[in-house]
A and B are shown apart, each in its own frame.
Chain A
Amino acid sequence: MSKKVTPWLDNLLQEIEGIEIRRKDSRRVRIDIAADSLPTLLELLRGRAGYVHLSAITCVDWIDESQFELVYQLWSYESQSLVSAHIRIARDPGVYVSVFDLYQPAAFFERDIHEMFGVYFEGSPDMSKFILTEWNGPPPMRKEFDAEAWVNETFERKEYQPDWLKEITEQGGGIVKSPEEARQKKP
């Protein structure tokens, strides 16, 4: 088997509506697809094209567009190639269907995304707390969560002002060379 995303896969995929396929290189394809069609696409890729391994589901918070982007990374052992399927869902209410029935590892990824971004996956076997068992605040990876403000509110800081540091501060801080300056000097 050639180590390429097979050309016939392209033909097959063209039949799905609202799909945009971009070849990143010979072994990598990016697919943007409407959220409704994703389960169909995954079923097709798994059943017909050998993409049996779901390596990850990742989430991106596009707060200005009020959308979440979900990226499904699929790997085929036969053609040794990677397909990443991108969908956008509305940020509010942030609900999507689980793909657990197709790929069982999805349970962990979905649980993780639910914890970090608050996206709810319907039909996922377990949406309880996963890693942040001690956390009661809002999902921390959402862009509107201000970690710095939360830290300032929750923790105190130790003051550390020894004399040697004062001297350096008077001379303009600990940064001897500004980053711009350092960059310019390089040929």
Chain B
Amino acid sequence: MKEIDIPIEASVDRNRTNPLARVFDELVRFCRSRSMFMLHYCTGCGAIELPPAMTSRFDMERLGIQPMVTPRQADILLITGYVSIKTLKRVILTYEQMGSPKYVIGICSCTVNGGMYWQSYATAKQLDQYLPVDLYIAGCMPRPEAVLEGMRKLMDRIRSGEADGWKDYYRRYDWYLGNQQHLFGDDWQTPADVIGEASHYDLAGPGTEGEHTRLLQQCQKPLEPQQTFFQIGGSLEVKGESHE
């Protein structure tokens, strides 16, 4: 595979001299809060309240919130219920693929503190130790009214600029990664280059790198293309590589 060098323009040199910059920012935030695409990762039973919230009865779409099918085009990652340790890995992979700015909502008591699975060996207890959660909607499970209420709250917070959990993930990546490594083991890695992204967004701070990121760099293995196998007539043949 050939290495491609894409020049990245650092946002540091961009001076904000335009007097209308702040007005413009506000407009951007307003528009952002009125058009949100939501990736609902239905991890637990709380997901059952989403169909009524999205369909004609409560109709989230009138607030500008729509379901989205791919992480790369979504703004909100909705975690609906308990996350098992196995799921948490996938959730983190999904989160890191989303483009910034991105928001995480934890629905259900299970994401807050383990909920009724407080003594289960299989579920992670506090979601905000592994991902920056912007908003929790507690309840077992929260009614669609509560979900809508939470969404409105998130809209307000986006408009006022308070919902900046995604910045926190870049600023304190070492801490988040440490918690992830505590659960998944030292060889945990994701394809995303979070440190590189942090410096791209000009958000790299003292907490971005640390002992855990050093451990990550030590254990990092180069990603290999996944091979697809098809079984034809009893013999195994390699048919193609999925990255091409």
Contacts and interface: CB of A to CB of B under 8 A. Distances in A.
Interface of A: 132-137, 140, 145, 147-148, 150-151, 154-158, 160
A133 to B, nearest CB: 6
A153 B183 CA distance: 12
Contacts, number: 44
B129 interface: yes
Given A134-B86, A140-B122, A156-B129, 7 more contacts: A132-B86, A134-B85, A140-B121, A147-B120, A151-B119, A151-B120, A157-B113
Contacts of B118: 151
Contacts of B85: 134-135
Interface string B176-212: 0000001111000000000000000000000000000
Interface string B101-125: 0000000000011100011111011
B114 A155 contact: yes
A99 B122 CA distance: 29
Nearest to A150: B121
Given A147-B121, A148-B119, A160 B113 contact: yes
Contacts of A154: 182-183
Contacts of B113: 157-158, 160
B43 interface: no
B128 to A, nearest CB: 8
Contacts of B66: none
B167 interface: no
13 contacts: A132-B86, A132-B122, A134-B184, A150-B121, A151-B114, A155-B114, A155-B124, A155-B125, A156-B125, A157-B113, A157-B126, A158-B112, A158-B113
B89 A156 contact: no
Contacts of B185: 136
Contacts of A156: 125-126, 129
A148 B119 CA distance: 5
A151 B112 contact: no
A134 B83 CA distance: 13
A151 B86 CA distance: 16
Nearest to A147: B121
A64 B85 CA distance: 31
Nearest to B138: A160
Contacts of A135: 85, 121-122
A164 to B, nearest CB: 14
Contact of A147 (B119, B124, B182, B183): B119
A160 B118 CA distance: 14
A146 to B, nearest CB: 9
A78 B129 CA distance: 55
A147 B122 CA distance: 9
A132 B180 CA distance: 17
B73 to A, nearest CB: 28
A99 B218 CA distance: 45
Nearest 4 pairs of A and B residues by beta carbon:
A155-B125, A148-B119, A147-B121, A158-B113
Contacts of A151: 114, 118-121, 125
Contacts of A136: 185
A132 B120 CA distance: 13
Contacts of B129: 156
A153 to B, nearest CB: 11
Contact of B126 (A137, A147, A155): A155
B135 to A, nearest CB: 15
Contacts of A157: 113-114, 125-126
A156 to B, nearest CB: 7
A137 B85 CA distance: 13
